[in-house]
Chains A and B, each alone.
Chain A
Amino acid sequence: MVPSRFVFDASPLVASCQFAVGNRAVAEIALAGADVQIPPAVYIEVITWGGARPDALTAARLIQTGYIRMVDATVIGPPLEDLQHYRLGQGESEALTLTARLGAGTVMVTDDFLALIIAHRLGISCQLFLDFVIGRVARGELPLVEAQQVVHAVSPRYPVGFVSHSLAMLRRLQP
């Protein structure tokens, strides 16, 4: 199924607002036109606790301008019971729960390996931020060159292998 909605936790938001391509935050490029949602706990972690930091203000602007939508707590409901077995943060728990509630066509985006494994165990669709970017190119939603610039920009964040593999995958998408 082609993903149509994405639920972000704090990790890809922080990364995509801290890094830039030229004078544009990575998030402004990578998220443009996508249906990106966050639960209230992620809003608190990123926007409220971010205060007046320039990168946190970038994230706040993305919400104000509709790049990212905060979902009401009533949509999320109680956290998935299985999550009690793990030591997740509030935002990751809500993001996993929201993705499960929204169901088919919704993908969680995280750079947290523990959250990624838990999602896999629960049958919740989940991907790294790098794969979110690659997926958008594959669906024709993001120009290849911009995706390559984004991957280069966030490269200091990832272990060796993840970036070169992402660039190789993008090269294969070249028409």
Chain B
Amino acid sequence: MSLVSIPMPEDLEQILKAVLERDPNKGTEWLRAGFEARLAELYQQWQALQISTTRFAELLGVSPWELADLLQARGLKATNLPGQGIGR
């Protein structure tokens, strides 16, 4: 696992600091949960045709290639075309 610096909102900083003192792994868990929640939220919007494929990637902050990888790794549909995906 690598270390990255992320600016922390002040209101979260005090809470996270205390949490990390008790359990250093909680930061990773929070980060993952936040990312997965955002991915799930945008995936729903994408499937409902509220946003396009590239907009989905832009809002998630990833490239179209990375978006394809993320969807594949989670067994999610690769397009917003109607119908169930057959998966890889």
Contacts and interface: CB of A to CB of B under 8 A. Distances in A.
Interface residues of B, number: 26
A109 to B, nearest CB: 13
Interface stretch (B3-11, B17-25, B30-38, B52-60): B52-60
Contacts of A156: 78, 86-88
A18 B86 contact: no
Contacts of B44: none
B46 to A, nearest CB: 8
> Which secondary structure characterizes the binding site on chain B?
loop
B63 A45 contact: yes
A87 B58 CA distance: 11
Interface in B52-88: 52-58, 63-65, 68, 77-88
Contacts of B63: 45, 49-51
A161 to B, nearest CB: 6
A88 interface: yes
Contacts of A117: 49
Nearest to A157: B78
A15 B69 CA distance: 11
A9 B80 contact: no
A14 interface: yes
Given A90-B54, A91-B54, A160-B84, A11 B79 contact: yes
Contact of A158 (B50, B51, B58, B86): B86
A159 B85 CA distance: 4
Contact of B64 (A11, A113, A115, A158): A11
A46 interface: yes
8 contacts: A18-B65, A87-B55, A89-B53, A90-B54, A112-B53, A113-B49, A115-B53, A162-B81
Interface of A: 9-11, 14-15, 18, 45-46, 49-51, 53, 55-56, 86-92, 111-115, 117, 128, 155-163
Given A14-B64, A156-B78, 5 more contacts: A11-B79, A92-B52, A111-B81, A113-B81, A155-B86
